[in-house]
Amino acid sequence: MNRFAEAVEAYEAAPDDARRVVAWRAYFEGASDADAAAAVRWLVAPWRSRFTRGALVDEVRDRAGLPDWLFSEALRGADDTAEGLSRLLGTASGERAPDLADGLAILQGGSSLGGALHLLAALDPSARWPYFKRLLGGRLGIGIDHLAEAIAEVRSVSRVSVARWLMAGSRSAPGWSGVFEGATDAAFGPLPFARIVPYSGDGGGQVADYLWPGRRIQAVRDAEGTFCWSEDFHQVAVTSSALMSALLLLPPGTVLEGVLSPDGRDMVVVDALFEAGEDLRAFPLSLRRARLRGLVREPLRCPDLIEEAPGGLEARRAHARGLGACGLILKRADAAYGARPAWQTWRSEPVTVCAVLLYAQRGAGRYELPTFGVWSGDQPTPFAKTAQGLPESERDLIDRYVRNNAVERSGPVLAVLPEWVYEIAVEEVWPSTRHRCGLKVAKAHVVRRRPDLNPGDADTLATVRRRLGLPE
C-alpha cells in the first residue's frame, strides 16, 4: 500500500507526461498481478465511500489523542482534509501494512470504520493520503491515458486496447488478465479523423457546419459501450448521464464524429462514419448526414447542413457568434469522409476586448505569461491568460513591470494593480462555471498594448458577453 501511494505521489510530482507514465510503469513492474488489478480497478472504477466525512474526522480525532480544539485547528492548517487526517493519525503504528489488494478489499469491503482506520494507521503518514482522499469522496486525478501507456509498456500491448480495457473496467471490473483479452479482441476503432485546414479563400465547398467550441471527438459504440476519443487518441469523459444514455442507445458498431463541450455535457454530432457495422465513409456527406439524423436522439444535437450561395455563407459566418459558434467549417455535400479537398475552418472575426493586466506567471526565467481581466462592477475579473502575439520586447516589458510593481505573490504568479490596458483578440470562448468571469477563453491573442487608454477604459464583462453573442 505504501508503494501505491508512492506511485501516486511520483505521478503528481512528475513535471511532464513522460515522467507521469514512468511513475506508473515503475509501480506496475514491481506489483503482483493481484495488486496491479486492484490498483487499476480502484483508479478507474467509480466507487462510493461508505463513510461520511464527519465520521472519518471523528474517528481520527478519537485516535489522535489531541484536545478537540487543537485537532480542529491543525486540520484547518492542512491543505485538504485528506492531508490533515493522514498526518494527524500519527506515526505508523508499526503493524505490517497489507498488500494493496488486501488493503483495498478492507477499505472497500465490509469492514467497519475502525477496521479501515486501523489499517491506515499502519501506513506511513505520507502514504495515507490517496486512501483518505478517496474515502472522503475525492478524486486522485490520475489520467487514464498515462495509466494506459504505462500498462501498455509493461505488458507490451497497444495503448488503445489498454485504454479501452480500462474504460470497460469502469463497469465490469475485470482482472489484470483482461489486458491481454482486450489486446486480442479486435476492438472497434477510433478511425482516422478527416483532415481540417484553415480556409484559404477558395475550394472550401458549398455547404457548411457551424464551428462549435469544444473538443473534436469520435463516439465509438461497440458491444461493450460507447467511448469517446479525441483527435490525439485520448479518451474523453462524457460527464452528463443523459448524454451518455443517448450514446449508449446507438447500435453497436457505430462511429460518429462530433464536438463535445469542454464540460463534457453537450455534444453536437456532425458525421456518421459507421452505422451498426456498416462503413459509411465512402458515401457522400449529404447521405451520411441523412443516416446520422436517423441515429441520434436528444440530448445529442444534429444540426442541418448550411446550404447557401457563397455570399450567404459569408453572412452566416458573420452571425455565427450570435449562436455561440466561432465560425464555419466548409464542406462538400458530395464528398466522401476524409476525401479531398479537406474541410476548411472559416473562423469568425475575432472579438476585440480591451483588458487590464492583472497577473503574470513565471515562465522560462521571466514573468511572461500574463492574465488579463475585464471589469465586473468595480472589480477586475480574470478573463484571458495568453502570451500569444506578444513580441519579445513586450514580454520583457511585462516581466520588468510586474517585478517592480508586484502587490502580491502567489507561487509563480505576481499580481499588479490594474493599470496597463491591452487589446486582446478572442476567437473561441464558451460558458464555464470554473472561471470567475463565467467564460473560458480558449483561443485568444494579444493585439497590442494600449498606453493611450486608462484602466477605466477597459471593457466590462457585460459588454464582452454582448460582443461575443452571449446572454449578459
Partner 1 sequence: MADLLRLTPDGLYCEAGDFHIDPWRAVERAIVTHAHGDHARRGSRRYLCSREGAGVLRLRLGPATNVTPVEYGEARTLRGVRVSLHPAGHILGSAQVRVEYGGEVWVVTGDYKTAPDPTVRSFEPVRCHTLVTECTFGSPLYRWPDAGAEFAKINAWWRANRSAGRASILMGYSLGKAQRLLGGVDPGIGPVFLHDAVATMTDAYREAGVVLPLATPVANAPLDTDWTRALVIAPPGVEGTSWMRRFRSFSTAFASGWMALRGARRRLEADMGFVISDHVDWPALLGAVRESGAERVRPTHGFTKLVARYLREQGLDAAPLETPFGSEEEGTG
Nearest-CA neighbor of 347 among 466, 430, 427? 427
Q: How far is the CB of 126 from partner 1 (least distance, A)?
A: 7
Q: How far is the CB of 22 from partner 1 (least distance, A)?
A: 8
Question: Residue 396 or residue 419: which is nearer to partner 1 going by CB?
Answer: 396
Residue with cell 486608462: 454
Look up residue 297 and give its amino acid: R
Look up residue 326 and give its amino acid: C
Question: Residue 61 or residue 466: which is nearer to partner 1 going by CB?
Answer: 61
Q: How far is the CB of 141 from partner 1 (least distance, A)?
A: 11
The answer to whether residues 102 and 32 touch, using CB atoms and an 8 Å cutoff, is no
Q: How far is the CB of 464 from partner 1 (least distance, A)?
A: 31
Q: How far is the CB of 9 from partner 1 (least distance, A)?
A: 8
Question: Residue 64 or residue 243: which is nearer to partner 1 going by CB?
Answer: 64
Classified as helix, coil or strand, 176 is coil
Q: Where along the sequence are the contacts to partner 1 (CB under 8 A)?
A: 12-15, 64, 66-67, 69-71, 73-74, 77-80, 83-84, 87-88, 90-91, 124-126, 129, 362, 364-365, 411-412
Half-sphere exposure of 318 (CA within 13 A, CB side): 6
Nearest-CA neighbor of 125 among 275, 271, 294, 5? 5
Question: Residue 67 or residue 312: which is nearer to partner 1 going by CB?
Answer: 67
Cell of residue 213, nine digits:
467550441
Question: Residue 77 or residue 456: which is nearer to partner 1 going by CB?
Answer: 77
3-state secondary structure string across 179-248: HHHHHHCCCCCCCCCCCEEECCCCCCCCEEEECCCCEEEEEEECCCCEEEEECCCCEECCCCHHHHHHHH
Peptide bond into 382 cis (omega under 30): no
Question: Residue 1 or residue 256: which is nearer to partner 1 going by CB?
Answer: 1
Question: Residue 76 or residue 340: which is nearer to partner 1 going by CB?
Answer: 76
Q: How far is the CB of 84 from partner 1 (least distance, A)?
A: 7
- What dihedral angle (degrees, nearest 10) is formed by the CA atoms of 391, 392, 393, 395? 90
Question: Residue 5 or residue 39: which is nearer to partner 1 going by CB?
Answer: 5
Question: Residue 75 or residue 424: which is nearer to partner 1 going by CB?
Answer: 75
> Is residue 279 within a helix (H) or strand (E), and if so which, with residue range?
strand 278-279
The answer to whether residues 118 and 146 touch, using CB atoms and an 8 Å cutoff, is no
> Is residue 446 within a helix (H) or strand (E), and if so which, with residue range?
strand 439-449
Q: CA–CA distance from 447 to each of 25, 406, 423, 439 (Å)? A: 44, 24, 5, 20
Cell of residue 291, nine digits:
443516416
Q: How far is the CB of 395 from partner 1 (least distance, A)?
A: 14
Cα angle 245, 250, 256; round to 5: 105
Question: Residue 71 or residue 165: which is nearer to partner 1 going by CB?
Answer: 71
Look up residue 203 and give its amino acid: G
365 secondary structure, DSSP code: S
